[in-house]
Amino acid sequence: MQHRIGVLIVASGLVVGQVSAQTVLAVGPHGAHGSIQSAVNAVISGGETEIRVEAGSYTENLYVGPGFSSGTLEVTGGWNATFTDRSGDPSVTVVDGGGAGTVVTVQISGGSLVFQGFTVTNGFASQGAGISIIPFGDGAATITVRNNHIVGNTVSADAYVDGGGVEAALDGGESVVIDGNRIADNVVECTGSTQAAGGAGINVTVIGSASFLVANNVITDNRAIAANAQKRGVGHFCFAGENGTGEVLDNVVARNRAEGSPSVTSSGGQLSITGSGNIVARRNLWLANIDATGSGAGQLRTAQSNSSTMVVSDSVIAASEHDGVFATVSETSELRLCNLTVADNEGTGLGIIQFTSSVASVYNTIAFGNGTDTSFDGTVDTGSNLFGVDPVFVSPSSFDYRLLVGSPAEDAGDNFPPGGLGPSDAGGQPRIVNGTVDIGAYEGTIEPIFVDGFESGNTSEWSTTVP
Angle (nearest 5°) at CA 217 between 211 and 223: 100
Return the pLDDT at 244.
Answer: 96
User: How many CA atoms lie within 13 Å of 168's alpha carbon, on the beta-carbon side?
Assistant: 30
Between CA 165 and CA 200 the distance in angstroms is 6
Q: What are phi and psi of 318, to 5 degrees?
A: -150, 160
Residue 450: CB atoms within 10 A of its CB come to: 11
Q: Give Cα 73 to chain centroid, integer Å.
A: 24
Check residue 19 and give its pLDDT. 35
Contact status, residue 110 vs residue 140, Cβ threshold 8 Å: yes
42's enclosing H/E stretch is helix 36-42
Residue 332 corresponds to which amino acid?
Answer: T
DSSP state for residue 437 in the 8-state scheme: P
What's this model's pTM, rounded to 2 decimal places?
0.91
Query: What does the radius of gyration of the chain's CA atoms come to, in whole angstroms?
Result: 24
CA angle 65, 67, 72 (to 5 degrees): 90
Distance of alpha carbon 129 from alpha carbon 144, whole angstroms: 17
In 1-125, DSSP assigns E strands to 6-10, 13-17, 23-27, 48-54, 56-59, 62-64, 72-79, 93-96, 104-106, 112-116, 119-121, 124-125
In this prediction, residue 194 carries a pLDDT of: 67
Q: What residue ranges in 207-265 does DSSP mark as E strands?
A: 211-215, 218-220, 223-226, 230-232, 236-240, 245-249, 252-254, 257-260
Measured torsion, CA atoms of residues 116, 122, 123, 126, in degrees rounded to the nearest 10: 140
β-pair type (400-404, 393-395): antiparallel
- The mean pLDDT values, 10 residues at a time, for the chain of 467 residues are 32 33 92 98 95 98 95 98 97 97 96 98 96 86 97 92 95 94 96 82 95 98 88 93 96 94 87 96 96 84 97 97 94 98 97 95 98 96 98 96 97 97 97 97 86 48 40
- The residue count of the chain comes to 467
SS3 helix, strand, coil % of the chain, rounded to 5?
5, 50, 50
Give Dmax over CA atoms of the chain in angstroms: 80
User: At 287, phi and psi to the nearest 5?
Assistant: -130, 130
Q: What angle do CA 16, 22, 24 make, to 5 degrees?
A: 65
Q: b/e string for 165-195 if b means 16 or more Cβ within 10 A?
A: bbbbbbbbbbbbbbbbbbbbbbbbbbbbeeb
State the pLDDT at residue 21: 59
